[in-house]
Amino acid sequence: MKVESESPAALMISSVSKSFIDPRGREVKALRDVTLSVGAGEFVVLLGPSGCGKTTLLRSIAGFESIDHGSITLGALALDQLPANKRPVNTVFQSYALFPHMSVAENIAFGLESEGLAKASIEERVREMLELVRLVELADRKPRQMSGGQQQRAALARALAKKPSVLLLDEPLAALDLKLRRTMQTELKRIHKATGTTFLLVTHDQTEAMALGERIAVFSEGEIRQFGTPEEIYENPRDEFVASFIGESTSFLCSQESDLLIFESLTFPRIEGVTRDASEVHISVRPEDFSLQQGGFLCGRVVIADRIFNGNSVDLSVRLESGKVIKILAAVSELRDLVIGNERDLFVNPKKIHLLRQSGKI
Amino acid sequence: MRVKRSSPYGPARAVYPALTLGAVLVGAPLLVVTLYSFLKRGSFGSGVVYKFTSDAYSSILIQTNLLGEHSLNSAYLGIIWRSIILASAVTIFCLLIGVPTAIWIALQTPSRQRILVLLVTIPFWVNVLARTYAWMLLLADKGLLSKIGAPTLLYTNWATLIGLSYAFLPFMILPVYSVAEKLDIRILEAGFDLGASGWRVLTKILLPSLKFGILSGVAVVFIPALGAYVQPSLLGGNKSMLIGSLINDQFGESRNWPLGSALAVLLLAMTVGVLSAYKWREWTRGKRNAESVDGILP
């Protein structure tokens, strides 16, 4: 089933800033000069820890918050000049916010009735939405008579019934258990494909962001740290925050000595993009790009400090002379050789060393 | 769906003494009043004679003149009707003031909510007579309100209306607040998000979500307002008789206990009738959508 959205247009967020006064009277900058462009029909995820401003941005787009500076436009439409009930965007709330006194069908019909559509076309649209989210049998149920996953679907159907240009999803899966979350992730992707609507989803869960987003905007302290495809962000984190927030990684602040990068007792090869006169070079390496097996670039000697066998891989902690601990990932086949306390050679895949910009110095 | 529950804290008979005491204390006076309503008036006006008769009830509707001719007595019906009108007006006043207040309290931060709820209940700490006398001082001729140019309202129906609304306002605010406080405020945002106007959000989302709070508020305001006695006599000056004063008179000046009892039973029957009709409607509807108002209405 293909349900066209009304007017596919790009969502443009330009230099948006927003401050709050917190209960203690201090000014909190929720958004600092945020610029983001979302293509029509794209699935973009806003990812960041709680309190980073991502939900504020979503609420500003929906019209529940006013912005201090900047503009939000949808195609030629100045979204930020319209009240919430006039904006062609709809929201799926974290708490679902289904109307408790209405059945699922009535919830879905509510937005269409606000538009003043004819009864017959409302009924048809409600039916269409129930089929889309697979809730046809539960049409007459009240929200409290449904499971979390079913309520989630109902909230999705209600928001999509209005054929929004952009669908805003505020941590929509946070209240679901792990297994259901996986199912709903697949469902979201299917529904995104079926409707062709632009999806803008907020989450603090990086695996969810990776699974869902065509592009991910990583947020921290009211700023977008990096905006790109999941692969780009994983392979080339732009700064220490992104590197540590997306997957695991260890960062090293190295000095430069004759084509080598030195960190305490470890040596790394000089990587592309490092200027010769830089006195400090900040790099990060993911656990799976280190190895204790021969191959790659020899970094130095380390001592195995701890190992955790977790089924399909082994999480190792190795210690440098200084006592600093690095996380590395080893294959199960190596398990026998990994004796705690043993001294080993540490190797790194030279292609997987990431150059970081210093956080805050972009 | 009803689930059969067995108490993990020991046998249910542990609560029997409390239940028995409660049943006796509530039931015994009701039985006495009902019994008295079917007895003959005592020869000197006080007390009753233990002889069954339904005269008390028929005298509410039918009067007999000195010649023994029967005719319809509309005086009591008029009093009952006037009481219903007044209680309705009080309920509407309490709705108009109480519902927005309750919603406003529910929107405050939790610590402020606690303080505001405490403030709402403060009048309960003062005796109802003292509060009513305070209103007399405010509303009297040359009272505080007339000094700032308001008309003198004491000993009018308006004074009764104000006094009763004041007395019962907390009973409207508290049940509405208890529902509003549990409400997910995001549903209002969801309403706007779905393109609804402010009026539509109010009438289609907010008020229906508060339905059970509003209904229990209406019940606990309307019922005592119907039988109110203190405010009508002190503030209204008993100029227009209400059912509460009428019943009171039967046990005092008029000395007709059976008639007083019959009027009290009639008032009770009316109240129970209206509530049962409502419950019945909810129950038959509830069979369709498994909705229950158990525990919401008294």
Best of A99, A106, A170, A171 to disrupt the B interface by mutation (most B CBs within 10 Å)?
Answer: A99
Q: Are A125 and A204 part of one and the same domain? A: yes
Closest to B189 (Cβ–Cβ): which among A83, A97, A111? A97
For A281, the domain range is 247-355
Contact criterion met (CB < 8 Å) for A93 and B208: no
Torsion angle, CA of A83/A88/A92/A98, rounded to 10 degrees?
Answer: 70
Q: What pLDDT score was predicted for residue A142?
A: 93
Each residue's pLDDT tens digit, A57-68: 999 999 999 999
Q: Closest Cα of chain B to A140: distance in Å?
A: 8
Which whole number is the average pLDDT over A149-175? 93
Which of A356-360, B47-51, B66-70, B142-146 reaches the highest mean pLDDT? B47-51
Q: Are A218 and A127 part of one and the same domain? A: yes
User: Which CATH number does the domain housing residue A101 bear?
Assistant: 3.40.50.300
Give the chain A residue nearest B192 (alpha carbons).
A85
Please name the residue ranges forming H helices in chain A. Answer: 54-62, 104-115, 119-132, 148-160, 178-195, 206-212, 230-235, 240-245
In chain A, which residues have their Cβ closer than 8 Å to the Cβ of B190? 91, 93, 97-99, 158
Q: pLDDT grade, residue A357 (50/70/90)?
A: confident
The counts of H helices and E strands in chain B are 14, 4
Each residue's pLDDT tens digit, B217-236: 999 999 889 888 888 888 88
Where in chain B does DSSP place strands (E)? 39-41, 48-52, 62-64, 70-72
In a domain, A360, yes or no: no
> Is the complex ipTM higher than 0.90?
no
In a domain, A6, yes or no: no
Give how many domains chain A has, as a whole number. Answer: 2
Which whole number is the average pLDDT over A152-158? 94
Each residue's pLDDT tens digit, A2-34: 444 444 679 999 999 999 888 788 888 899 999
Best of B1, B193, B285 to disrupt the A interface by mutation (most A CBs within 10 Å)?
Answer: B193
Contact criterion met (CB < 8 Å) for A99 and B290: no
User: Which CATH number does the domain housing residue B192 bear?
Assistant: 1.10.3720.10
Q: Are A284 and A232 part of one and the same domain? A: no
Q: Check if B191 contacts A (Cβ < 8 Å).
A: yes
Provide the 3-class DSSP secondary structure of residue A186: helix
In a domain, A222, yes or no: yes
In a domain, A30, yes or no: yes
* Of A222, A241, A260, the domain-final residue: A241
The count of C-alpha atoms lying within 13 angstroms of the C-alpha of B247, restricted to the half-sphere facing its C-beta, is 20
In chain A, which residues have their Cβ closer than 8 Å to the Cβ of B192? 63-64, 83-85
Q: What pLDDT score was predicted for residue A74?
A: 94
Q: Does residue A236 contact residue A321 with C-beta atoms inside 8 Å?
A: no
Residue A273 pLDDT exceeds 70: yes
Contact criterion met (CB < 8 Å) for B189 and A85: no
| A-B Cβ pairs (cutoff 8 Å, strict) | 72
What does the DSSP 8-state code read for residue B248? Answer: H
Q: pLDDT grade, residue A359 (50/70/90)?
A: very low
Contact criterion met (CB < 8 Å) for A97 and B186: yes
In a domain, B292, yes or no: no
In a domain, B91, yes or no: yes
Contact criterion met (CB < 8 Å) for B197 and A114: yes
Contact criterion met (CB < 8 Å) for B195 and A162: yes
Q: Does residue B105 contact residue B113 with C-beta atoms inside 8 Å?
A: yes
In chain B, which residues have their Cβ closer than 8 Å to the Cβ of A23? 109
- Which segment of A23-27, A275-279, A358-362 scores lowest on mean pLDDT? A358-362
Q: Are A345 and A308 part of one and the same domain? A: yes
What proportion of chain A, given as a percentage, has pLDDT over 90?
A: 60
Q: What pLDDT score was predicted for residue B13?
A: 80
Provide the 3-class DSSP secondary structure of residue A132: helix
End-to-end CA distance of chain A: 45
Give the chain B residue nearest A103 (alpha carbons).
B289
In a domain, B55, yes or no: no
In chain A, which residues have their Cβ closer than 8 Å to the Cβ of B197? 85, 114
Q: Closest Cα of chain B to A95: distance in Å?
A: 8
In chain B, which residues have their Cβ closer than 8 Å to the Cβ of A83? 192
Identify the residue with better confidence: B283 or B37: B37
Q: pLDDT grade, residue B177 (50/70/90)?
A: very high
In chain B, which residues have their Cβ closer than 8 Å to the Cβ of A110? 191, 194, 196, 204
Provide the 3-class DSSP secondary structure of residue B276: helix
In a domain, A116, yes or no: yes
Q: What pLDDT score was predicted for residue A1?
A: 41
In a domain, B202, yes or no: yes
> What pTM was estimated for this model as a whole?
0.77
Contact criterion met (CB < 8 Å) for B193 and A90: yes
Q: pLDDT grade, residue B169 (50/70/90)?
A: very high
Q: Does residue B216 contact residue B296 with C-beta atoms inside 8 Å?
A: yes
In a domain, B262, yes or no: no
CA distance B48 to B56: 12
Q: pLDDT grade, residue B292 (50/70/90)?
A: very low
Best of A101, A129, A146 to disrupt the B interface by mutation (most B CBs within 10 Å)?
Answer: A101
Each residue's pLDDT tens digit, A302-334: 999 998 988 888 999 999 988 888 999 988 888
Q: Are A237 and A98 part of one and the same domain? A: yes
Contact criterion met (CB < 8 Å) for A86 and B195: yes
Q: Are A289 and A219 part of one and the same domain? A: no
Each residue's pLDDT tens digit, A212-260: 999 999 999 999 999 999 999 988 888 888 988 888 888 899 988 888 8
Q: What pLDDT score was predicted for residue A13?
A: 94
Identify the residue with better confidence: B5 or A93: A93
Q: Are A134 and A79 part of one and the same domain? A: yes
Q: What residues 211-240 of chain B have any CB closer than 8 A to a CB of chain A?
A: 211
Q: Are A162 and A299 part of one and the same domain? A: no
Q: Are A222 and A333 part of one and the same domain? A: no
Where in A39-188 does DSSP place strands (E)? 43-47, 69-74, 77-78, 89-92, 166-170
Q: Closest Cα of chain A to B212: distance in Å?
A: 11
Q: Are A153 and A214 part of one and the same domain? A: yes
Q: What pLDDT score was predicted for residue A360?
A: 42
Interaxial angle between packed helices B257-289 and B211-226, expressed in degrees from 0 to 180 and rounded to the nearest 10: 170
- How far CA A38 is from CA of A10, A200, A213, A233, A263, in Å, comes to 6, 8, 12, 17, 40
Q: Check if B110 contacts A (Cβ < 8 Å).
A: no
Q: Closest Cα of chain A to B196: distance in Å?
A: 5
End-to-end CA distance of chain B: 21
CA A216 to chain centre: 6
Q: Does residue A136 contact residue A103 with C-beta atoms inside 8 Å?
A: no
Each residue's pLDDT tens digit, A90-127: 999 999 999 999 999 999 999 999 888 899 999 999 99
DSSP A242-270: HHHHSS--EEEEEEEETTEEEETTEEEE-
* Of A207, A241, A275, the domain-final residue: A241
Q: Are A50 and A129 part of one and the same domain? A: yes
Q: Check if B287 contacts A (Cβ < 8 Å).
A: no
Q: β-pairing, A11-21 with A166-170?
A: unpaired
In a domain, B174, yes or no: yes
Contact criterion met (CB < 8 Å) for A95 and B196: no
Q: Closest Cα of chain B to A37: distance in Å?
A: 22
CA B135 to chain centre: 20
Closest to A101 (Cβ–Cβ): which among B193, B197, B208? B208
Residue A84 pLDDT exceeds 90: yes
CA distance A212 to A201: 9
For B91, the domain range is 83-247
Q: What pLDDT score was predicted for residue B298?
A: 40
Q: pLDDT grade, residue B103 (50/70/90)?
A: very high
Q: What is the mean pLDDT of chain A?
A: 89
In a domain, A61, yes or no: yes
The count of C-alpha atoms lying within 13 angstroms of the C-alpha of A320, restricted to the half-sphere facing its C-beta, is 13
Q: Are A112 and A140 part of one and the same domain? A: yes
Contact criterion met (CB < 8 Å) for B192 and A83: yes
Best of B1, B194, B285, B287 to disrupt the A interface by mutation (most A CBs within 10 Å)?
Answer: B194
Contact criterion met (CB < 8 Å) for A110 and B211: no
Q: Check if B292 contacts A (Cβ < 8 Å).
A: no
Residues of chain A that touch chain B, judged by Cβ-Cβ distance less than 8 Å: 23, 62-64, 83-86, 90-91, 93, 95, 97-101, 103, 110-111, 114-115, 140, 142, 145, 158-159, 162
* Of A213, A241, A269, the domain-final residue: A241
Give how many domains chain B has, as a whole number. Answer: 1
